[in-house]
Amino acid sequence: MSRKIFADLPAPGSQPTESTATPRRQAMRPLMAALDIETQETGRRSPVGALGQSLGEMSERTKRAEEIERRLSAGQTIVEIDVADVEPSFVPDRMQIDDEAFGNFVQSIKAEGQQVPILVRPHPEKANKYQIAFGHRRWRAAMALDRPIKAVVRSLTDQELVIAQGQENNERQDLSYIEKALFARRLDRQFSRDVITSALAVYSSDLSNMLSVANRVPDDVIESIGPAHSVGRRSWMTLANLLTSHSNVAKARRVAAEASFGRLPSKERFEAVLRGLADEGSSQSDTIAVSHAGREVAKILETKQRVTLTVDRKMSPEFASFVLKELPRLFELHQKQQG
């Protein structure tokens, strides 16, 4: 199945300034240079345009991605390499779980063949070996099928490799939030923040949140939960905030050790841990109200004199307005029930 590797290449136009270029656009430059593919960039985008695109723009992105993939295949020498001669990137980017989605991916490769080559470099330490920049799932699928892997071989520095690796992951969008956060933490041990923001195509504030989550949630808890696809930044930050105490970390580990926990899908394992922590915190004076989907909805501060409910307008503006609107009705309902 063909992958849209370079999905954000803009249409021809004027060059943007560094101050107006989005992180993703800035990240494309070294990646495309590494592949010897020339591109042109559009001019200034509004803040709204940088955050969202219409369906028509998405269609144009798809067309541009298909064109780049065609040029990659046509303009580079593609070779077949024995999978035994290929090793993964020196910075892991994915939690290795052989789930149903990967099984379907393997069957797709088996039926349709490998449509897009992976990118590798000559191994910097081993003769006649190669190291993957991107295409790890295709490589694993080729191993499962016991067939050679189609690849483009390029000379890449460590920095060029991780930028290509991170950017391709960003375009594929099938790494979960916590996988990206762990990838960011691994990169943070070897590379500057500028390199990491380029690799992940994120702003520095987003990177700070990722590193905060990856550093505050214990590795064994993350491994127990798994990649938790569709669980986003807010939910992981809620969990990280709850795990600031040793007692809550111990509680999370007890939830993960339950016999039924391992049989749950990864997303539901995340929700089980979050619910378990929220339930334990219900007797404390300062608690976090969590929805069934694992999203923080409010903070509750209880004292002998009052109960304070705090809803973050930035995170949940609609819910904050709903609570304000419904409070008088709820009070009237309470009065009727008391009467």
Dump pLDDT digits (tens) for 182-237: 989 989 988 899 998 888 888 888 999 999 999 999 999 999 999 898 898 999 99
Specify the pairing of strand 149-153 against strand 118-122.
parallel
> Tens of pLDDT along 304-315?
667 788 887 777
- Which strands sit side by side in the sheet containing 130-134, from one edge to the other? 78-81, 149-153, 118-122, 130-134, 86-87
Give the separation between CA 279 and CA 72, rounded to whole angstroms.
Answer: 53
What domains are defined for the chain? Answer: 23-174 (3.90.1530.10), 217-338 (no CATH)
Q: Which alpha helices (H) appear in the chain, and where do they start and end?
A: 23-34, 47-51, 55-75, 100-112, 136-145, 158-172, 177-188, 193-200, 204-216, 219-225, 233-242, 246-257, 266-280, 317-338
Is the pLDDT at 244 greater than 80? The verdict is: yes
For residue 331, count other CB atoms closer than 10 A to its CB.
Answer: 10
What length does the chain have? 339
DSSP state of 285: S
Is the pLDDT at 8 greater than 50? The verdict is: no
Give the separation between CA 239 and CA 248, rounded to whole angstroms.
Answer: 10
CB 40 within 8 A of CB 13: yes
First to last CA, the chain: 65
pLDDT of residue 271: 93
pLDDT of residue 169: 66
Strand (E) or helix (H) holding 308: strand 307-310
Is the pLDDT at 254 greater than 90? The verdict is: yes
Give the separation between CA 26 and CA 36, rounded to whole angstroms.
Answer: 16
pLDDT of residue 143: 92
Report pTM.
0.53
- The band of 258, judged by pLDDT with boundaries at 50, 70 and 90, is very high
> Tens of pLDDT along 23-63?
555 544 544 444 444 444 444 444 444 434 444 555 554 55
Is the pLDDT at 291 greater than 80? The verdict is: no
Q: 337, exposed or middle or buried, with CB in 10 Å at 0-12, 13-18, 19+?
A: exposed
- Alpha carbon separation from 281 to 230, 295, 302, 316 (Å, rounded): 25, 15, 12, 22
Q: 3-state DSSP call for residue 79?
A: strand
Specify the pairing of strand 149-153 against strand 130-134.
unpaired
